[in-house]
Amino acid sequence: MTGAFHSVPIMRPYYCWTVLYVSILAALVLTLNADSKTSECETSIKVRRNTVYQAFVGQDLRINCTVSFCNNTQPVSWFKLENGTDSVSVNKNSHIKTEWKPSDHLEGTSYLIFQKILSNDSGVYRCRSGGSVSHNINILVSGKTSECETSIKVRRNTVYQAFVGQDLRINCTVSFCNNIQPVSWFKLENGTDSVSVNKNSHIKTEWKPSDHLEGTSYLIFQKILSNDSGVYRCQSGGSESHNINILVSGKTSECETSIKVRRNTVYKTFVGQDLRINCTVSFCNNIQPVSWFKLENGTDSVSVNKNSHIKTEWKPSDHLEGTSYLIFQKILSNDSGVYRCRSGGSESHSIKVLVYAAQDTFWSFVYRVVGIMVFVIIVIAIYVTPKRGSKGVCCVGGSKTPPDPPEPSCPASSNSHIYENNESIL
């Protein structure tokens, strides 16, 4: 029995080693389970095997790559295979762009966009994200143009005439083959070289679709300059328009834009109120934009910028007439000043805006009431004083009682007395 009791402490070291082995084994199992769970959640790229895109030189092409992420969205990159194995990153440049469109918080599609694709853009492409790589995407670019070409409708020998300072819009109608493509404008220099027309402060472009595959591009000159004269062309999808000739004369047109604003127009308001000032304009040939300016230091014109509390609004009253409104919402004290509207080289008379503080309203009311009261008191005093003086004579130190009336005068020789009621004379 004694030996049995002595065997207990001998087993303790083996018990401790057993616990250690079990702990290590449990840690390994948990680690393997965690690794297996993380490995199961991977970024998935959905691109079909043997995907092929065909395009013609000068066309636009979009290829796509749909990606499902595991835990969070990661960037998607594009590569091109060189010699069948080497991956070369696709650099974004003037004609290659990328675009990302999410379809879910952990899924979306990356697009590789070729604008006016080149023949050397042919090849095998792949997209990559989060350690996953897509299947090959083969792009075949043919040197010949497609049978379906972009059509540009501009008449031969089109000529526009304008005067310096006028606004001018020239147009270019385009019918596309498969999808709408950007339209660019060029100016011919020396009769042959094409120089891209840069948008600046007075030259704008505008696109108005007329159908899902057709529309008109406008080149807009605001206050055209003499050096804007020249020959222009529009271009899209490998097609180019006929020449468009613009002739700008140095003299102004006899038909000018008329602005109807009365001289010395003044608007008065208080801080925090809304105010609308107007400017009626009659155009000569076509409606042109109306701009608003504020005079600084009496002469310099500063453009009125639209912001959170200043808006503009145009209301046509006829096909060549309308009214432009400058709207102040909750006007500020620093909005006080002199304003003018301008359109087509014509400018309105000055419009003065006076903004008063709210406290000025109270004190001006008080001053007005006090002034009226003082005026009334003066009038009453002037009216009452002459009447008081006519009732009696007030002498300094004398009695205020009026003197007794004088007795009737009688002849000195008469001693008789007259009594009433015919009484006897004593």
Architecture of domain 258-356: Sandwich (2.60)
Nearest to 286 by CA among 401, 167, 389, 384: 167
Pairing mode, strands 351-356 and 337-343? antiparallel
* CATH 1.10.3470.10 at 44-142, yes or no: no
Per-residue pLDDT tens over the stretch 169-225:
999 999 988 788 899 998 988 766 678 887 667 899 999 998 888 999 999 999 898
Task: Tell me what pLDDT residue 189 has.
Answer: 81
Q: What is the pLDDT of residue 147?
A: 61
Torsion of Cα atoms, 100 then 101 then 104 then 106, to 10°: -10
Domain boundaries, the chain: 44-142, 151-249, 258-356
C-beta of residue 120 within 8 angstroms of C-beta of residue 144 = no
pTM: 0.32
CA atoms within 13 A on the CB side of 141: 18
Quick one: 151-249 is in which CATH superfamily?
Immunoglobulins (2.60.40.10)
**pLDDT by residue for the chain (426 residues), tens digit each?**
444 444 445 445 556 666 566 566 665 545 445 444 444 678 899 999 999 999 988 888 999 999 999 888 889 999 998 877 777 888 766 688 899 999 888 899 999 999 888 888 899 999 999 889 999 999 999 876 556 778 899 999 999 999 988 899 999 999 988 788 899 998 988 766 678 887 667 899 999 998 888 999 999 999 898 888 999 999 987 788 999 999 998 765 567 788 999 999 999 999 999 999 999 999 887 888 999 999 887 666 788 877 789 999 999 998 889 999 999 999 999 999 999 999 877 889 999 999 998 765 567 677 788 989 999 999 998 888 776 655 554 444 444 455 555 555 544 444 444 444 444 433
Please report the pLDDT score of residue 8 as a whole number. Answer: 46
What span, in angstroms and rounded, lies between the C-alpha atoms of 255 and 282? Answer: 11
Instruction: Identify the CA nearest to 120 among candidates 87, 90, 86, 150.
Output: 90
How far is the C-alpha of 99 from the C-alpha of 122, rounded, in Å? 20
State how beta strands 351-356 and 265-270 pair: parallel
Q: What is the pLDDT of residue 196?
A: 84
| Residues 44/67, Cβ–Cβ less than 8 Å | yes
What's residue 404's pLDDT?
57
Write the CB contacts of 413 (distance below 8 Å, at least 6 apart in sequence).
none
- Can you give the pLDDT at residue 205? 92
Tell me, letter by letter, the H, E, C secondary structure of 264-317.
Answer: CEEEEEECCCCEEEEEEEECCCCCCCCEEEEEECCCEEEECCCCCCEEEEEEEE
Phi and psi dihedrals of 83, rounded to 5? 60, 25
Give yes or no for a contact between 168 and 162, defined as CB atoms under 8 angstroms apart: yes
Residue 102: predicted pLDDT: 92
**Do the domains 258-356 and 44-142 match in fold?**
yes
